[in-house]
Amino acid sequence: MLEMYPELKPYNTGFLKVSDLHNIYFEEAGNPNGKPVVFLHGGPGGGITDSMRRYFDPKKWRIVLFDQRGCGKSTPFAELKDNTTWDLVADTEKIRNHLKIEKWSVFGGSWGSTLALAYSITHPSVCTELFLRGIFLLRKKEIDWFYQEGCSRIYPDAWESYVKPIPENERHDFVQAFYKRLTSPEASVRKEAAHAWSVWEGSTSKLIPDSDFAARFGEDDFADAFARIECHYFTNKGFFTEDNWLINNVDKIRHIPTVIVQGRYDVVCPADSAWALHRAFPEAELHLIADAGHSLSEKGITSKLIEYTDKWA
């Protein structure tokens, strides 16, 4: 079982102005002359963490990470204006050009897998490999499963806390009901909704529930951006023109070496999405991790991802 590389400090940090409104925080770690890889974090709205640098051999990889619009150190915080999938795809390309990188590998899990697919489909010629984890295709049935109905049967206790801010007469559409509260002018209303939305995901992300992990999702600043931006994207159907846009366009990237790492018991992004992607993209190597849920930090998922970052370094 492979473990993460030791803690690593960035050797370069900065901000890139990507629009009149948004400034994106980015950092580089590892070997400045190594093979470039960009890490696309989850959410949307999740932001980067120090541990995300540790999935790559720092002697071999030039590791690029950035906080997507509205989260982490990027400004303005929790901003929804000019914040779409296609803005983030464009930002990713602006960072590549800013750092004078010709081509790079793309690493993304959960929403990061969505963005990695959208980016690589849009810019296939600059992607050398794809590392995809916890596949999320942002289809209606995936949103309905996790935020409306299916998952409640597995986590009825956490579900009760999730739905608490929403009155009975609005529970036919939780995403819209939460969006109404997450965009409320009243800070207390936004805070209650953000906490409920974010802790729900934190409570269900690991095969063995971890109360400390869930609590971190409920911290005010994190929850504010995470819940608002996620709900904004889901309300707008990921800004895709059709429900199955990623699968329908996957032929554009089938020549790119790709690995899909999926927890067998992932309830946040169930394995049927990874299976659907693999059926449309049979060249991709699919690994179903028998003892894992959704979280990047679960041992089997961590080990398999590092096996491939070592293999393709």
Q: Is 266 a catalytic residue?
A: yes
Distance from chain centroid for Cα 211 = 21
CA 182 – CA 159 distance, rounded (Å) = 18
Out of 110, 113, 198, 205, which one is annotated catalytic? 110
Residue 295 near residue 49 (C-beta atoms within 8 A): no
Catalytic status, residue 110: yes
Distance between CA 159 and CA 165 in Å, rounded?
11
Distance between CA 208 and CA 140 in Å, rounded?
27
Annotated catalytic, 195?
Answer: no
Residue 120 vs residues 18, 40, 204, 230: alpha-carbon distances, Å: 19, 12, 29, 21
Q: Is the dihedral of CA 266, 272, 277, 279 positive or negative?
A: positive
Choosing from 120, 123, 294, 295, the catalytic residue is 294
**Which residue of the set 224, 266, 273, 295 is catalytic?**
266
* Catalytic residue numbers, as ranges: 110, 266, 294
